[in-house]
């Protein structure tokens, strides 16, 4: 990967699930409690891992179908899921190695930081706070903050507007094809981490400008 020059980069937009925090355990517990409430069987962890990334509505619709539920159960599933997720938010989740150090280095390089996730904002804010990551970000946006979610470029373009930085100078850091497609369409450079959730596909097959094994391994030129 060519080194990322902080003289040309002005900001970074950072994804949450699979990039900063390993939240698979939270998703699995909240979904299983919701399914139990609806008298439906649990789904396996691998199914949850490959279905995360396109927001909670998508995850719930796919999970209901996979567990043998009916589409009409969506509203009940959503209410139960939201209550369960908020009750355990962060308890079965850990910050990936190198994240705090990586964010610190980006800040020291003079970049403005925003968090942009497809997770509902009401889940994202308390999770960042519980994991001690909220202080790095001047802005935090969720899957319900804008009219459309990643992989649509709109949330990235809106986030760039708030940051006050041109997309070409705003680096997207993510873990999935969603993040990369949104970044390409918005005109943002994009680097993906190799350890997150990419819809069950090898992340190195995604069109991105580079890959890192840890966020503190971003090759920032000095």
Ligand X SMILES: O=C(O)COP(=O)(O)O
Q: Is 75 annotated as a binding residue?
A: no
Annotated catalytic residue 209: no
Say if CB 196 and CB 203 are below 8 A apart.
yes
Binding footprint of Mg ion, residue count (CB under 5 A): 4
Indicate which of ligand X, Mg ion, none lies near residue 52 (CB less than 5 to 8 Å, by partner kind).
ligand X
Checking 102-110 for CB contacts under 8 A at 24+ apart, the result is 102/214, 102/215, 102/216, 102/217, 102/218, 103/14, 103/133, 103/136, 103/215, 104/136, 105/216, 105/218, 105/220, 106/12, 106/218, 106/220, 107/136, 109/6, 109/9, 109/220, 110/6, 110/10
- We find the least distance from the C-beta atom of residue 195 to Mg ion, in angstroms, to be 11
CA–CA separation, 43 vs 212, rounded Å?
A: 31
5, 15, 75, 144: the active-site residue: 15
- Residues facing residue 173 across a β-bridge: 14, 191
Of 12, 14, 15, 102, which one interacts with Mg ion (CB under 5 A)?
15
Q: Which of residues 135-164 bind ligand X (CB under 6 A)?
A: none
Q: Mask 18-47, x = binds Mg ion (CB under 5 A)?
A: x-----------------------------
Residue of 32, 80, 84, 119 that binds ligand X (CB under 6 A): 119
Pairwise CA distance, residues 172 & 187, whole Å: 10
98 touches which of Mg ion, ligand X, none (CB within 5 to 8 A by kind)? none
Known binder of ligand: residue 152?
A: no
Strands 190-193 and 170-174 turn out to be parallel
Q: Does 18 bind ligand X (CB under 6 A)?
A: yes
What CA–CA distance (Å, rounded) separates 170 from 11?
5
- Answer with the entry of Mg ion, ligand X, none that 89 interacts with (C-beta below 5 to 8 A by kind): none
Identify residues 77-96 at the interface with ligand X (CB under 6 A).
none
In the chain, alpha helices (H)? 24-37, 45-51, 56-66, 74-88, 99-108, 121-130, 154-163, 177-186
Q: Is 10 in the site for ligand X (CB under 6 A)?
A: no
Work out how close the CB of 124 gets to ligand X at its nearest, in angstroms, rounded to a whole number. 7
**Is position 53 an interface residue for ligand X (rule: CB under 6 A)?**
yes
Return the residue nearest ligand X (CB atom). Answer: 117
Q: Does 17 appear as a known binding residue?
A: yes
Numbered residues of the known binding site for Mg(2+): 15, 17, 175
Per CB under 6 A, residues contacting ligand X are 15-18, 52-56, 59, 117-119
Q: Catalytic residue numbers? A: 15
């Amino acid at each position: 990967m060519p080194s990322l020059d902080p003289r040309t980069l002005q900001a970074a937009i950072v994804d949450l699930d699979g990039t900063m925090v390993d939240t698979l355990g939270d998703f699995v517990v909240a979904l299983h409690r919701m399914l139990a409430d609806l008298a439906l069987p649990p789904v396996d962890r691998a199914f949850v891992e490959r279905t995360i990334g396109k927001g909670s509505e998508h995850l719930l619709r796919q999970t209901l179908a996979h567990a043998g539920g009916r589409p009409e159960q969506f509203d009940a599933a959503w209410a139960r899921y939201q209550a369960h997720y908020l009750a355990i938010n962060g308890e079965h989740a850990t910050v990936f190695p190198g994240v705090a150090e990586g964010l610190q280095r980006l800040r020291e390089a003079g970049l403005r930081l925003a968090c942009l996730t497809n997770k509902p904002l009401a889940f994202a804010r308390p999770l960042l706070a519980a994991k001690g990551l909220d202080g790095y970000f001047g802005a935090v946006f969720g899957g319900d903050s804008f009219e459309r979610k990643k992989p649509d470029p709109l949330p990235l373009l809106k986030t760039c507007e708030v940051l006050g930085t041109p997309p070409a100078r705003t680096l997207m850091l993510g873990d999935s094809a969603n993040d990369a497609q949104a970044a390409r369409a918005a005109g943002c450079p994009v680097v993906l981490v190799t350890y997150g959730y990419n819809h069950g596909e090898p992340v190195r097959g995604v069109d991105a400008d580079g890959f890192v094994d840890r966020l503190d391994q971003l090759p920032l030129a000095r």
